[in-house]
Amino acid sequence: MKYVACLVGVSTLALGSVVYAQGRQRPAPPPSRYSYALKIDAEALPKGVTVREVRDALGSRWFITNASDVPLVIHERFQGETLAAGTKLVSGKVYQYFPNGVPMEGKTHLKGWQAPFGEIKETLLYLPQEPAKIYEGRKPGLPKDLPPDEDVSIPAKYDGKPYAIKGTVHYYLNQAYDAFYRAKDKEEPKPDDAGKDPSR
């Protein structure tokens, strides 16, 4: 199986330094024991569809392009059975779905598939959610045994029919996990110090 270059998914940065919920700021979850690299199966991509990896100070990201005239739709989001958002790639262009019009002055009448920012050739490609092992790896005291490689897929539609962009997740140890729990252990009082007056 031929693969394009791997995308490194650093679990400690995947959710950002903070997340917001109900208008309040909450700390990020503890780091996972594992990080992962994603490899996309290039041979399984439709004709005209390509992906490329970008590596920079922000990490590694995938960008996907569709040069063919057969539409590829990714990252669909529904409210009930109604399409609320999505990305369509066709003929070398990227379109976003706006059910209620583009939320920009003078463009709110533009509904459905639109390209309000002009012609864009590619867009981000990502897993719909982190692999389950990343969440499971946030428990303290885990050994250094690695989970086996895992087949994954990104749901899509090609020519109006269900399609899956296939890949493989390869796990490796996340150094931030050990550093996090070493620092946490230093912060916790030793058994001999329990009950002592910290002012003495």
Give me the sheet containing 150-158, strands edge to edge.
Answer: 7-9, 34-40, 161-173, 150-158, 72-79, 82-90, 93-98, 112-114
**Is the overall model pTM greater than 0.85, yes or no?**
no
Output the six-digit token pair for 30.
């503890």
pLDDT of residue 22: 41
pLDDT of residue 128: 92
pLDDT of residue 63: 94
pLDDT of residue 3: 52
Rg (CA), the chain: 22
pLDDT of residue 171: 94
Residue spans of beta strands (DSSP E) within the chain? 7-9, 18-21, 24-27, 34-40, 49-56, 59-66, 72-79, 82-90, 93-98, 112-114, 123-125, 150-158, 161-173
pLDDT of residue 186: 75
- Return the DSSP state at 191: G
Every domain of the chain and the residues it spans: 7-189
pLDDT along the chain (200 residues), means of 10: 48 34 66 91 93 79 95 96 96 96 90 93 94 95 96 96 95 93 75 53
**b/e string for 103-117 if b means 16 or more Cβ within 10 A?**
eeeeeeeeeebbeee
